[in-house]
Amino acid sequence: MQDVTVVRTSVQPPYAAHLRVYEPLAAYPEPDRARWQAWAAEHGPDAAEPAQPVAAAVLEEQREALAGLAARTPRALPERESGRAYLRLVDGVLYVCPWATRLRSWQALEELRAGAPVALLDTALPPVARAAAEADRERWRAEHPDARPWILTSRWEVPVHWFLPFGDEDRCFVPGGEGPGGEGSVDGPGGGAERGGRPAALFYLVPMAQARRRVARAFRALREAAPDGDLVRGAERVGRWLEEFHPRSLVELDYGGLVHLLGPERLLADRSAGELEEGLRALRAGDTAEALRVHGELTVRWRRVLALRHAN
């Protein structure tokens, strides 16, 4: 597991959640396998800490991205891949989730173009910088037609369909504290989002086979009950994405910077994956009313979180 060194910085992580896939080291072809093995040897995932979050590495990635945007000529994307990754070591097997920063930067630029006012977009990233980034992407895409990100990001919310691969037993809540081995323990009481220096963390971690099985069962039940619903379309998207990776991978849902938005009490009480699982059980049992109630409550709760992006 990646070391959770306390990071003293004025940079706060964005209010974003992340869905990650960690593939086993053996799934990577050479020379990537040797490169990730060397990266792991230097950064030391800890087999004794299998339930630690990757909060320190997330902050490092954020600082690196902000440094590029703060340059005199803002860069829409890094000039080259960072060669960094999130790491997990489970049962003696090393799992690697590459940052793939350039690919994710292109995707973020597309989302920004679709959702931001033109004046704001031109101020943040001048048109000439965007045009250069888009031309660079087309060249890169021609050389890497099968490329896919190991990380999906959602700002200001966790999309409800992201909970489909997980059950409540996969949930890990690490309260804020002084550091590893201090006050924080998985699912322990108390715990502030920033208490004592180490931020709280809430994440789910599950083997790929189990994630695919859950998504497939959910998709079948939802397709029969609500073939045109948002949740069935989300299940299809997540299922197709998971199929792109090695069958012995790990899947992680990380609340990321949302822990600072939700606060310690809501984090401790949050059981979104378990609630969605209960709703799907009701749906398979024919209790459509109960399934709709659970899904409605879960959706409304996360829409309230999403609405905070317009707060001042």
CB neighbour list of residue 188: distance below 8 Å, 6 or more residues apart: 173, 175
What is residue 135's predicted lDDT score, i.e. its pLDDT?
Answer: 77
Q: Give the per-residue pLDDT at 6.
A: 37
pLDDT of residue 82: 65
pLDDT digits (tens), the chain, 312 positions: 333 333 344 456 689 999 999 999 999 999 999 999 998 988 866 544 545 556 566 666 656 655 555 555 555 565 666 678 999 999 999 999 998 777 777 666 776 776 677 777 777 777 877 777 777 777 777 776 677 899 999 999 999 999 999 999 999 998 876 544 333 333 333 333 444 456 789 999 999 999 999 999 999 999 999 898 999 999 999 999 999 999 999 999 999 999 988 988 899 999 999 999 999 999 999 999 999 999 999 999 999 999 998 876
Name every residue whose Cβ is closer than 8 Å to that of residue 186 and which is 6 or more positions away in sequence: 51, 172, 173, 174
- Give residues with Cβ within 8 angstroms of 150, minimum separation 6: 20, 21, 22, 23, 97, 98, 100, 245
Estimate to the nearest angstrom the gap between the alpha carbon of 215 and the chain centroid: 17
**What pLDDT does 60 receive?**
64
pLDDT, residue 156, reads: 93
Q: What is the pLDDT at residue 305?
A: 93
d(CA 181, CA 187): 14
Question: Looking at residue 223, what is its pLDDT?
Answer: 95
Give the list of residues 6+ apart from residue 85 with CB closer than 8 angstroms, or none.
36, 39, 96, 97, 98, 99
H/E stretch holding 159 reads none
Q: How high is the pLDDT of residue 254?
A: 96
Report CA torsion sign: 262, 263, 266, 267: positive
Res 57: pLDDT: 61
Burial of 175 (0-12, 13-18, 19+ CB in 10 A): buried
